Structure 1
Amino acid sequence: MIVPENTNILWVDFLANGERLADEQEQEKLIQNALDSGVTHLIVDAKVPYGQTTYPSKYAYHISSWSDGMYDAWKNRDFLAEFLAKTKGTTLKVLANMDVFSEGITSSRDGMAYDKNEWQVTFYNDAVSSESNAAEYTDSATIFVNPIHPEVQVYEQAIVKEIISSYELDGLIIDRCRYPNIYGDFSDLSREKFESFIGEKVEKWPEDIYRIASETKAIQYGKHFGKWTEWRAVNIKTFVHDVRNIVKGYNSDLLFADYVGSWYPLYYSEGVNWASETYKPNLDWTSDTYHVSGLAEELDFLMTGCYYPEVYVEEAVTNGRPADWYSVEGAANLSLQVVKGSTPVIASLFLKDYQDHPEQFVKAINMCKEKTGGVMLFDAVYLENYEWWSYLPDELKKK
């Protein structure tokens, strides 16, 4: 299946919407609003950032198992199936989202990462490996597992197979298919695999990868840093390739896509090269062969988060942003530049960036649709909270 031009995607994040959407009338209302607004595709969470599934899984914990009881209303229920039943017969395409390598939450210690401690990412050193940092950011509660741990890969791929074989979907989206940040993974397994990748022993581990400045905490690149960034990105590309084969092997008509941040010059921190494999970046952290890790060709389309309140490049410059790609327009331009036409790009918006500024929200939608194959709106909860559904029909239905 090829994603059509003028694709308008609405993400329905379970953690943000789950309590409200336990009421099936609210589900019907959301679906009708989406249809009336010109939305073409819904993304519905199948596996949330803390590892629980919104459907009954043979492998993962159900969302209702969360120990704080927040989602007790979903006990013995199937979020994905309920949405699919209500969209059947409509023009909406439904894509299931799977958060891949995030498998636990620090606040309640729920998740597979706590059952399988050996799966957890090993961080650079004690200074960055406290539980508050064992996640994407210091204020995040998400625990990640090591993407190259063989048991992790078997587990995540089993869930992929379960999702696509259990439901009549139009496609699969992967999110958080990456490392948590620059500090992971420094396990013995990662050292062994990296040394095999470069064909030599790392004499000073981890200092030959990088050092952390004692005062500024800045990363100071070591002699192997360029190959390290390449190796991590190759690991993610290899996993994405394997998942694509699973999806297409089951049903070649299923769409397969990834969701990433648009800030390409900084995204090495997450260990992902979402560019085309023909794009050769010349940045201070890249190796000569970094381009081989590009994964855009593995995807039917790519969503890049253009998460900036500034819409136009001129706004970013005027507001003193570090670069012009700190804007929706600049981020879309950068996304297209590095993907090089290898797969369709759909620029994506974080609606909270425009709180109290609906006129800026409308401009951002128009910019995404002007520059790329459509727009993805994250997330449905803000359309409800800000009462912004009325702004969509005129914008989304434009060709």
Structure 2
Amino acid sequence: MSTEGRSTDAATATADLESASFVRLVTRPAGDAFAACGVVVDALAERGIPYQVSAVRTVGERTTLAEESQDRGPADRTLVIGAVDGDATRLDSADRPATLEACDLVRELGSTPSPILALAGIAAAGVDPGAGETEWLLTEALEQKLLEQRPGVAVPTADPIDGLAHSTRVRVPWSGDLEATRDAVSDLVPAEGIDAETAALETEIHRKIGSLVAIDAVSAPNAVDSASHAVTRVLRPYARTDCSADSPETPRQTRTDPAFETIGGYADVLEATARVEPGTGIALAIGHDAREPALDAWRDHGRAAHDALESGSTGRYDGAFVVDVDDGPVETVARLAVAYRSPEPVVLAIADGEAGIATRDDRALGSTLEAIARDLDDEEIGCGYDVGRRRGYLTYDSDVDDSTIITAVRGQL
């Protein structure tokens, strides 16, 4: 098996799509990948090309589906977003968000990607909007007056209490608990809440909330040094200017982006739906009216992730921090732990029959996950895996001992 190597370049993928009468997109369930699907679907819709999107959990399952799809018709095309074992037209890179590759592709086709969707996908991949080669997207959004940077924290909802309680982009002592969050910020938020009519007051409230979150994130009893870097990435967010009402200064867009308050909040919702309701996440990313069910899934996901991290038992090994949870979204638990709780650069979050891996550095996890899967196969343990930027996923029989998984992972770090 091999998932390492170059993804398809934009020119090659463009030639495939330009000659297509039908396109099947086979994607990994991740916020970045879903946003990449949305960018491509917008371009297909402009050309009247029908399409189908399928979210597939593991590399092996994606490979099988991609191979089956390629045999269905001479004018049918398949585009895989994520790692796959074998030859396929795909958008997949260990060091670059899939959303950026999708933007390159549609620009080759002569289309312009939605900067809001693209920036949300980039943020979901763990890249700061505007950093490096994403600068042109942020510049476009700012010039079109779609975004403005303001104080506060990157959450998807206008209500900061709801946003902070369920966000998985930050970890503070009151995360995951709506009442505890309300108590923590009660002195900062007026009883009637925040709305678009109180803009001047809103700015000062957001500034105070941002300060509170920064202090609580780094001063929590079990916070680690990396928390100070992680929390800065959710402060001073890029906020939507077109959520509450149409503005005569805002140009018409070819798509209607869902009204999430900030780019980071949109990214959090994409990630949440990818983990717990991929059908809703795909609908959201390709422009359907799925905001409310997506927010419901995001709240459920946030509570589950923070509860799992809070109640899970932990163990520290040389180079790895293990969080053993009874239930919960293991990839999100691993991502939160490596950012805010882990003294080691790699986190392994284990539940029954699945595990999530997250890392703070840019090591290529594709070969690592492949090797772990091979080791488990050698022990006659059926194992599927997936890999993304700085994170990975394993699925296996639920009766496999945690110690077996820990040993296999540690052996490849």
Does the TM-score normalized on the shorter chain lie above 0.5? Answer: no
- In proportion to residue count, which structure has more helix? 2
TM-score of the superposition, structure 2-length normalised?
0.31
